[in-house]
Amino acid sequence: MTQPERDYWPTQDWRTAVPEEHGMDGTMLANIRDVGARTEPPATGVLVVRRGYMLCEEYFNGAGPSMYNPINSATKSVTSALIGIARRDGLLGDLDEPVASFFPEIALDDERKRRISLRHLLTMTSGFVDVDRSDLERVLRADDPVRFIWQRPMACEPGRHFSYDDAALQLLSIILSRVTGTSAAEYAKRELFEPLGIWPDTAQAGWRIPAPPAGSVPPFGASWPPTGLR
């Protein structure tokens, strides 16, 4: 099927279309409300976008289009995109560059850590020991999050084993802060969110309930703790 040329970019609102016009089953999408109402944990909404057109938009459990939700691990994809943007801008080089080169203040206790690259962090194959997800909370609370991450033991050679590691991925956010001279969140706002029409109105920052810790939220409203900015 020939891909139709998109004649707009939805920075203000999404255009809608009939699902069948974009190769999807409208009958199946009509059942999404029933499925969404039974999810556990409870879903707040389902939106289906294809080729720039909104084909389905349903909300559940009192939610609506003006409601904000934490996106949690989707931020990993945002961070990955920012690494690509930083490379485009000449702020980062090859993905096989050793991560340790960005942290000269850290004395490494395992030679394998010297071989961890940007690519390993992006693919979650850094080689650190599998850890509890609560490690991320300890990173964000740590006086020195960089040292906390690097002092964790290694399980294997980098690139050999996949491990869903929230803490290790924080190193990418910290690297972005160091090479751009600003927080990763502010870099995301300038280079990604604003061009895509995300958070165009600073008044939307009022969604934050309860209020997060002081200093953890950029002025435009994204809860993105600025770990490791030196």
In this structure, of 37-51, 78-92, 128-142, 203-217, the range with the lowest mean pLDDT score is: 203-217
pLDDT band at 111 (very low <50, low <70, confident <90, very high): very high
49-91, pLDDT tens digit by residue?
888 889 999 888 888 887 777 777 888 999 999 999 999 999 9
In this structure, of 55-64, 153-162, 203-212, the range with the lowest mean pLDDT score is: 203-212
Does the N-terminal peptide bond of residue 41 adopt cis geometry, omega within 30 degrees of 0? yes
Residue 228 has a pLDDT of: 43
Q: Which residue has the higher pLDDT, 139 or 106?
A: 106
Provide mean pLDDT across the span 166-190.
89
Domain ranges of the chain: 1-67, 74-206
The answer to whether residue 206 scores a pLDDT higher than 50 is no
The answer to whether residue 230 scores a pLDDT higher than 50 is no
pTM: 0.74
Provide mean pLDDT across the span 194-199.
74
Q: Which residue has the higher pLDDT, 130 or 29?
A: 29
Closest to 173 measured CA to CA, from 90, 114, 108, 86: 86
Residue 121 has a pLDDT of: 96
Q: Which residue has the higher pLDDT, 48 or 67?
A: 48
Write b or e for each residue in 3-19: b if 16 or more Cβ atoms lie within 10 A of its Cβ, otherwise e: eeeeeeeeeeeeeebeb
Q: How far apart are CA 49 and CA 14, in angstroms?
A: 9
Residue 213 has a pLDDT of: 44
Residue 183 has a pLDDT of: 85
Under CATH, what is the fold of the domain 74-206? Beta-lactamase (3.40.710)
